[in-house]
Amino acid sequence: MSLTAHIVTIYGNMVTVKVEGAVRQNAVAYCNRSDGVKLMSEIIRIRGDLVDMQVFEITRGLKVGDTVEITDELLSVELGPGLLGKIYDGLQNPLPELAEKIGLFLKPGNYLKSLDRDKKWQFTPIAKPGDKVCASERLGKVPEGIFDHFIMAPFDLKGEWTVKRIVEKGEYVVSDQIAEIEQDGQIKTLNMINRWPVRIPLGVYAERLLPTQPLITKQRIIDTFFPIMRGGSYCIPGPFGSGKTVLQQITSRHAEVDIVIIAACGERAGEVVETLREFPHLPDPRTGKTLMERTIIICNTSSMPVAARESSVYTAVTLGEYYRQNGQDVLMLADSTSRWAQALREMSGRLEEIPGEEAFPAYLESSIARFYERGGIVRLNDGRISSLTIGGAVSPAGGNFEEPVTQGTLKVVGAFLGLSYARSYARRFPAIDPLDSWSKYSGIIDQEKVSWAHSFLKKGRSIFEMMQVVGEEGTSTEDFVTYLKAELLDAVYLQQNSFDDIDAACPVERQKYLFDMVSKILSHKFMIDDKEKARDLFFTLTEHFRNWNYSAWASKEMKDVEEKIKACFV
Amino acid sequence: MRKYYTRIKQIAGNVITLKASDVGYEELAIVEGAWGKSLGQVIRLSNDEVVLQVFSGTRGVSTSDRVSFLGSSMRFSFSQNLFGRIFSGGGEPRDKRSSLTENLIEVGGPAVNPAIRLMPNSMISTNIPMIDVFNTLVEGQKLPIFSIPGEPYNELLARIALQAEADVIILGGMGLKYDEYLYFKNRLEEGGAMSRSIMFIHTASDPVVECLLTPDIALTVAENFAVSGKKVLVLLTDMTNFSNAMKEIAITMEQIPSNRGYPGDLYTQLASRYEKAVVFENGGSVTLMAVTTMPGDDVTHPVPDNTGYITEGQFYLKGGWIDPFGSLSRLKQAVNGKTRDDHRAIMDGCIQLYSKCRESREKRAMGFEMSPWDIKLLKYGEAFEEKIMKLSVNISLFGALDLCWKILANFFEPRETGIRSALCEKYWQKI
Ligand SMILES: Nc1ncnc2c1ncn2[C@@H]1O[C@H](COP(=O)(O)OP(=O)(O)OP(=O)(O)O)[C@@H](O)[C@H]1O
Ligand SMILES: [Mg+2]
């Protein structure tokens, strides 16, 4: 069912067409360039018989009068077995396959099937003929990676349907018919592919729960001080070069979740290359398989078309919701949501909407909120608990957090990991500012103990600022020692060396153990009356703790260092 | 045959509007009048109304001037014949030689598929210790030079161009002063590099918006050489001029500016150029170095700010040298682990000591007492600036590493350097 229309206006990636007949907001359309190439587009505004569309490709060469086919289908993704390990563009075109087909460059107008049509899956039926099924109910399963990938009834089914027929256990490709269901004489044949429109949240569950379980990232500063939750949300704003991407890369490696979805949204292609070249060779310690097998990359980097960048975050989040529906704990990381917001801004400008602050559209905040709201921890209809956690990097202009995207994000997320230029400049990585950041969640260590430790950081900072004015001479030894304690906590607990094999990931047990050790130092009353001696002592302590961080858990080396630490202050 | 339109409806800024049909988006046009000829490009189509951005500006354009459309977007001739040639910022010969018409290729084509890119992994030697030792330049990297106006950034670019072992050097000048253009030309000629160089020069006296074409032509040529397996070094100077030209057009088109008058798509526009830096499987590559002058030494100005979010680090040119603190090559880790075993240690060690030296200088400036340690640091800092940091220093990487050891040994005991003792034993004695 499609409609033909004609182009009347072209301005950047926005095209206006004149239509006679019914059109649907957010439906997909194809602009026919005179050389036969079809450019995918999406309807974003309808005014009388004039329809504005964003084109997901460069519009070069399009002409007024060119025809446009308007479909009735909303911009959607394919869901089914075989998503894991894939590298897609923002419209879910598999990029490696695209390269095989059309070569080095992303020539406009080439669209491939998202799911491999040739791969055979070992299907085991779960539903039986005569069973009643509702939306999202399990019809069967195939093994994918280490999970059962359930083949679910369509998510938009209304009411109960009866299974008429289901295929036997065996090998099938995703497009093979596997079941037939019926309701009031109406029959649907189903294969393993579900489709879902990306702009509509996908969630068929009994209830949404409050996030209470920490999502372990193995980064001490996060898990202990600014925890994030399964099904919660967080943001990482920071100026350029402060470590947003590195922090997301570390998290995507070490986070204790089943599936990671990386949305490379309007950032460097080179950074994605790093991930996609390395992940196939890195083991996932939880499963022994490679990291790539639990990862999906949605890649719409900065030189790829802007409209597809805007939709890429929705593509990513929909895949996340799908695996949550399948019962998994999913983490979705977007780098950077500012680029997505800029894509919104570009389109809004072309639509000549009344601009808000910094020319962003007035609906920026609600768009951000709706995006993060798609995360969450849920109890599925069959009782299983699963979650989608969303973490977004934010790239504020000039590194100033008082701008619309950062501010809009802070209103909706559960944790704010603010990176500071000062900390990255001083190479204190991860450069999360411990005095600005916050989390509404409680983490792996008792809240009270954490606040107590955190108070040292505050005191340390004010003493440091004082010292800038009055010099060390003018500071009491007691204050000076407090300052050194804060520095120690910073150096050996907050900072973590992501290039060291052991320090890169600090498991919960180890964090708790280290936290206790450092707490002993923080609470110890050192009998020192000389600043040089104090500096020396803390210098030595820091050195020992660093070595402790670098030594394998429960190794002899670790025990030896612990003895040295004890000798310093008992 | 070619159709001519002679009724321009509107002229404003560098943009003209006329009625025409069967025109493609981004198609090129020629506007001819009593004052001469200029290229134009379609930037908006609405019913039978065509909006053109005129690259030579609209000064003197008459409503009865003749406009014709070329039937395609910008194209440029690509062949071996480009070597040694000098073109204007818009791609016209500037060297009084004939124009090239063979093998026309589309300028500013689609992006490279990220999935086929390779990770950059070979070092580019510049013989500038502040780069080679401390912030190594990597083949396939995109790196800007942030500079306040007046710093010797063009000299630095020319030096890197001559030193780097590139198969092809492409210079894109935007708003260059005429003597800067001559300087580049002379340097490349003296250095014997002209035969592998191609220059696209838009000077300060050329129409401002013409420089919008310059990076696209330069990078398209570069990309095509890289596809054919060549290692290409592209130098662009100055991207702030390019951004300002974009700002002019945006304002004429009544776009709502996002920040200090710059259009909201500044990031995307800059990124689509910088992202042309690439390494291909066949060994071809594009390495991109671009000057970004910072008005008022302000890194938060939209041009350097957006650039920093796009590139893989930056060199800060400040007070005549490459500042070791603000500068960063984000790809250096990819290469400096396999040059010499002391490379990373020297890189960290020398900079940490230099940073402590700056702290001591501050203390001294505030009138606090100098300890013997402070005095050591101060002396070290002076030597380090003189022998390593100065832009005039010209030594190989290994030479520079040896020299760093020598300077350290002059002022410190091994344990004071914070460098692993195994390395100190190996190199301390030797020098
Ligand atoms: N945890 C870390 N450990 C060591 N180095 C780090 C760490 N985080 C960041 N860095 C250093 O900082 C550089 C920049 O980091 P990153 O690319 O993550 O910045 P970013 O905030 O994503 O910047 P942009 O906004 O420009 O993308 C890295 O190349 C690396 O040298
Ligand atoms: Mg980044």
Query: For residue range B226-255, what is the model confidence (pLDDT) as tens digits?
Result: 999 999 999 999 999 999 999 988 888 888
Judged by DSSP in three states, A522 sits in: helix
Contact A400 B272 (CB under 8 A): no
Residues in chain A with CB shorter than 8 Å from the CB of B313 are: 241
Cα separation of A28 and A41, whole Å?
6
Question: Do the chains contact at A99 and B113, CB–CB below 8 Å?
Answer: yes
Pairing between strand B36-46 and B28-33?
antiparallel
Residue stretches of chain B with pLDDT short of 50: none
User: Are the CB atoms for B351 and B134 separated by under 8 Å?
Assistant: yes
Q: What would the pLDDT profile of A466-493 be if each residue is shown by its tens digit?
A: 987 887 788 899 999 999 999 999 999 9
Sorted by sequence, the CB contacts under 8 Å of residue A570 that are 6+ apart come out as none
| Residue B173: per-residue pLDDT | 96
Scanning the structure block, which residue is given the tokens 């992006």?
B111
| Token pair 């918006």: residue | B209
SS3 A394: strand
Domain boundary assignment for chain A:
2-74, 86-108+204-439, 121-192, 447-569
> Which conformational region is residue B71 in: left (phi greater than 0), alpha (psi within -120 to 50 degrees), or beta?
left
Give the whole-angstrom CA distance, residue A321 versus residue A296.
13
Query: Has residue A1 got a pLDDT over 70?
Result: no
User: Does domain A2-74 fall into CATH 1.10.15.40?
Assistant: no
Nearest ligand to residue B312 Cα: 1
In this prediction the pTM is 0.94
Residue nearest to atom 14 of ligand 1 (CA): A241
Confirm or reject: Cβ of A399 under 6 Å from ligand 1.
Answer: no
Cβ distance of B271 and A266 shorter than 8 Å: yes
A503: tokens are 């320090």
Q: Kindly list the residues from chain A whose CB atom is less than 8 angstroms away from the CB atom of residue B265.
A: 306, 342, 346
Domain A447-569, what fold?
Answer: 1.10.1140
Fold for domain A121-192? OB fold (Dihydrolipoamide Acetyltransferase, E2P) (2.40.50)
Q: Kindly identify the ligand whose nearest atom is closest to the C-alpha of A396.
A: 1
Is B110 part of the contact surface with chain A (CB cutoff 8 Å)? yes
Averaged confidence pLDDT in chain A: 94
Share in percent of chain A as helix, strand, coil (round to 5) = 35, 25, 40
**How does strand B66-69 pair with strand B4-5?**
antiparallel
A237 lines ligand 1 (CB under 6 A): no
Structure tokens at A227: 């925890």
Which amino acid is present at A83?
Answer: L
**C-alpha A319 – ligand 2 centre gap (Å):** 23
Provide mean pLDDT across the span A385-406.
Answer: 95
Contact of B66 with B177, CB cutoff 8 Å: no
**Is residue A569 pLDDT above 80, yes or no?**
no
CB–CB of A352/A408 below 8 Å?
no
- B362 closest CA partner among B344, B381, B390, B345: B381
Counting ligand 1 atoms within 8 A of each CB, the residue from A245, A333, A503 with the most, and so the one to mutate, is: A245
Provide the token pair at A100: 């095989």
| Bridge partners of residue A262, in order along the sequence | A297, A333
Instruction: Name the residue with the closest Cα to ligand 1, atom 16.
Output: A243
Say which amino acid occupies A165: R
Peptide bond into A336 cis (omega under 30): yes
For A259, left (φ over 0), alpha (ψ -120 to 50), or beta? Answer: beta
Asked if B258 reaches chain A (Cβ–Cβ under 8 Å), the answer is yes
Cβ separation B264–A359 shorter than 8 A = yes
Single-letter amino acid code for the residue at A506:
C
- The predicted pLDDT at position A457 comes to 96
A248 lines ligand 1 (CB under 6 A): no
For residue A315, give the nearest of A99, A115, A87, A89 by alpha carbon: A89
Given B22, B113, B308, which is nearest A104 (Cβ)?
Answer: B113
Which pLDDT does position A395 carry in this prediction?
A: 94
- Distant-in-sequence, close-in-space partners of A483: CB < 8 Å, separation ≥ 6: A459, A460, A463, A464, A467, A475
DSSP code at position A353 = P
Question: How far is the C-alpha of B156 from the C-alpha of B244, rounded, in Å?
Answer: 23
Three-class SS of residue A354? coil
Q: Please tell me the distance between residue B385's alpha carbon and the centre of ligand 1 in angstroms.
A: 27
A535 is written with which tokens? 């500096």
Cβ A388 vs Cβ A374: under 8 Å: yes
pLDDT confidence bin for A329, thresholds 50/70/90: very high
Paired tokens of A441 = 């969640």
Q: How far is CA A448 from the centre of its chain?
A: 30
Residue type for position B270: L
The alpha carbon of A227 is separated from its chain's Cα centroid by a whole number of angstroms, namely 16
pLDDT given at position B169: 96
Say whether domain A86-108+204-439 belongs to CATH 3.40.50.300: yes
Q: Is A471 on the interface with B (CB under 8 A)?
A: yes
Q: Tell me, what DSSP letter sits at residue A88?
A: E
pLDDT band, very low/low/confident/very high, at A539 (cuts 50, 70, 90):
confident
Whose tokens are 């074409």? That residue is: B213
Q: Which two tokens stand for residue B157?
A: 């670019």
Q: What is the pLDDT of residues A196-246, one digit of tens each?
A: 999 999 999 999 999 999 999 999 999 999 999 999 999 999 999 999 999
Nearest CA in chain B to A353: B256
SS3 sequence of chain B: CCCEECCEEEEECCEEEEECCCCECCCEEEEEECCEEEEEEEEEEECCEEEEEECCCCCCCCCCCEEEECCCCCEEECCHHHCCCEEECCCCECCCCCCCCCCEEECCCCCECHHHCCCCCCEECCCCHHHHCCCCEECCCEEEEEECCCCCHHHHHHHHHHHCCCCEEEEEEEEECHHHHHHHHHHHHHCCCHHHEEEEEEECCCCHHHHHCHHHHHHHHHHHHHHCCCEEEEEEECHHHHHHHHHHHHHHCCCCCCECCECCCHHHHHHHHHCCCEECCCCCEEEEEEEEECHHHCCCCHHHHHHHCCCCEEEEEECCEECCCCCEECCHHHCCCCCCCCHHHHHHHHHHHHHHHHHHHHHHHCCCCCCHHHHHHHHHHHHHHHHHHECCCCCCHHHHHHHHHHHHHHHCCHHHHCCCHHHHHHHHCCC
User: From B71, which residue of chain A is nearest by alpha-carbon distance?
Assistant: A61
Closest by CA to B236, choosing from B136, B169, B306, B303, is B169
**Residue B233: predicted pLDDT:** 97
Domains assigned to chain B: 4-73 (2.40.30.20), 77-333 (3.40.50.12240), 343-430 (no CATH)
CB contact under 8 A, B112 and A269: yes
A19 vs A5, A75, A264, A353, B22, CA distance in Å? Answer: 5, 19, 35, 22, 20
